[in-house]
Amino acid sequence: MSKKDDFIQMINEGYSFEGKSIVLGGAMLDGETQTNSLVRIPLKTMNRHGLIAGATGAGKTKTLQILAEQLSDNGVPVLMMDIKGDLSGIAAASEGHPKIDERHQAIGIEWKAGTSPVEFLTLSGEKGARLRATVTEFGPVLFSKILGLNDTQGGIVAVVFKYCDDRNLPLLDLKDFKKTIQFLTNEGKEEIEREYGKISSASVGTIMRKILEIEQQGADKFFGETSFDVDDLIRTNRLDQGMVSIIRLTDIQDKPKLFSSFMLQMLAEIYASFPEQGDAEKPKLVIFIDEAHLVFEEASDALLDQIEAIIKLIRSKGVGIYFCTQNPDDIPEDVLGQLGLKIQHALRAFTAKDRKAIRMAAQNYPITEFYKTEDLITQLGIGEALVTVLNEKGIPSPLVHTMLRAPLSRMDVLSDHEIDAILNASKIIEKYNKEVDRESAYEILNGKIEEIQSDEHQEEMKAQQEKGRKASTRKKAEKSTLEKAMSSTTTRQIGRTVARELTRGLLGVLGIKSTRRRRKLW
Q: Show the 3-state SS of 320-351.
A: EEEEEECCHHHCCHHHHCCCCEEEECCCCCCC
Q: Determine contact, residues 299/258, Cβ cutoff 8 Å.
A: no
Q: Determine contact, residues 20/74, Cβ cutoff 8 Å.
A: yes
CB count in 10 Å sphere of residue 352: 8
- Preceding omega of 185 cis (within 30 degrees of 0): no
In 3D space, the residue among 412, 318, 386, 286 whose CA is nearest the CA of residue 28 turns out to be 386
Q: Which residues of 64-85 are buried (b: 16+ CB within 10 A; e: fewer)?
A: bbbbbbbbbbbebbbbbbbbee
Q: What is the pLDDT of residue 462?
A: 63
Please give the chain's pLDDT, 522 residues, in tens.
Answer: 688 889 999 998 888 888 899 999 999 999 999 999 999 999 999 999 999 999 888 889 999 999 999 999 999 999 999 888 889 999 999 999 999 999 999 999 999 999 999 999 998 778 899 988 889 888 898 888 888 888 899 999 999 999 889 888 888 889 999 988 988 888 778 888 888 888 888 999 999 999 998 888 888 888 888 889 999 999 999 999 999 999 988 776 667 777 777 888 888 889 889 999 877 899 999 999 888 877 777 666 777 787 888 888 899 999 999 999 988 888 888 888 889 999 999 998 788 888 888 888 888 888 888 999 889 999 999 999 999 999 988 889 999 999 999 999 999 999 999 999 999 999 899 899 887 777 767 778 777 666 665 555 456 656 666 666 666 666 666 556 555 545 554 444 444 444 444 444 433 444 434 444 434 433
Note the pLDDT tens digit of each residue in 123-164. 877 889 998 888 988 889 888 888 888 889 999 999 999 988
Angle formed by the axes of helices 256-273 and 135-147, to 10°? Answer: 130
SS3 419: helix
What does the alpha-carbon distance between residue 515 and residue 298 come to, in Å, rounded to a whole number?
104
The residue extents of the domains of the chain are 3-132+225-433, 149-220+439-452, 496-522
Which residues have CB under 8 Å from 286's CB, separation 6+? 46, 47, 67, 68, 71, 76, 77, 78, 79, 319, 320, 321, 322
Which amino acid is residue 205, in one-letter code? G
Sheet with 118-122, side-by-side order of all strands: 32-42, 21-29, 400-404, 384-388, 341-344, 50-53, 319-325, 285-289, 78-82, 244-248, 118-122, 129-130
In 3D space, the residue among 392, 314, 361 whose CA is nearest the CA of residue 79 turns out to be 314
Note the pLDDT tens digit of each residue in 198-231. 888 899 999 999 999 888 888 888 888 888 999 9
- Alpha-carbon Rg for the chain in angstroms: 39
Give the homologous superfamily in CATH for domain 3-132+225-433.
P-loop containing nucleotide triphosphate hydrolases (3.40.50.300)
CB count in 10 Å sphere of residue 447: 11
Classify residue 59 by its DSSP letter.
S
What does the alpha-carbon distance between residue 514 and residue 516 come to, in Å, rounded to a whole number?
6
Count Cα atoms within 13 angstroms, Cβ side, for 32.
Answer: 6
What does the alpha-carbon distance between residue 447 and residue 191 come to, in Å, rounded to a whole number?
17
What does the alpha-carbon distance between residue 437 and residue 225 come to, in Å, rounded to a whole number?
7
Q: Determine contact, residues 263/301, Cβ cutoff 8 Å.
A: no
Angle formed by the axes of helices 174-184 and 135-147, to 10°? Answer: 70
What does the alpha-carbon distance between residue 159 and residue 169 come to, in Å, rounded to a whole number?
13
What does the alpha-carbon distance between residue 307 and residue 516 come to, in Å, rounded to a whole number?
111
